[in-house]
Amino acid sequence: MTATNPNTGYREGIAQVTESVFATMLDLVLQPESPSPAPGPAELTAAVYFAGAWKGAVLLECSLDQAKAWASKLMSLPAPVPAEDARDALGELCNVLAGNLKPLLPPGVGLSTPSVVRGSDYNLKVCGETRIDRLEFTDGLGGFRVSLIVG
């Protein structure tokens, strides 16, 4: 993929990368969802931050049960999957999403290590935040969101 103009949206790139990563890593076919007017809070949120010539973050938000199902597929673990393994798998999926989105960004961008938050009572602020491109998907297990915060 080629770099996207930083003044335009990244929605198409996010959709392509997300669908590709989930197909490759989890053997899941995703369906894009129409954005809901007020999406409900996710139980888990993984984040990878971009720094350098371009600042922002990618977020992967889902339910704990969904993260456990993904961990089972990703790590070949039998059910029930411990919550800690679900968090690790979600962080890894977000890290792979960020790495695959990086070519769409201007040169000179570095990635942080992933972080995962459990719960919905938190605020995330990326300095200089100007826009969020948020896409919603469903994978047969439920809905989830991938967001790119443009700093």
52-105 tens-digit pLDDT: 988 899 999 999 999 999 999 999 999 899 999 999 999 999 999 999 999 999
Confidence of residue 120 (pLDDT cuts 50, 70, 90): confident
Does 6 map to a domain?
Answer: no
Quick one: angle between helices 11-26 and 64-75, nearest 10? 50
For 91-106, the pLDDT digits (tens) are 999 999 999 999 999 8
Contacts of 62 (CB under 8 A, 6+ apart): 42, 43, 44, 70, 90, 142, 144, 145
> Within 10 A of 116 (CB to CB), how many other CB atoms are there?
19
Total tally of structural domains belonging to the chain:
1
Q: What is the CATH number of the domain that holds 125?
A: 3.40.1550.10
Which residue range forms the structural domain that includes residue 52?
11-150
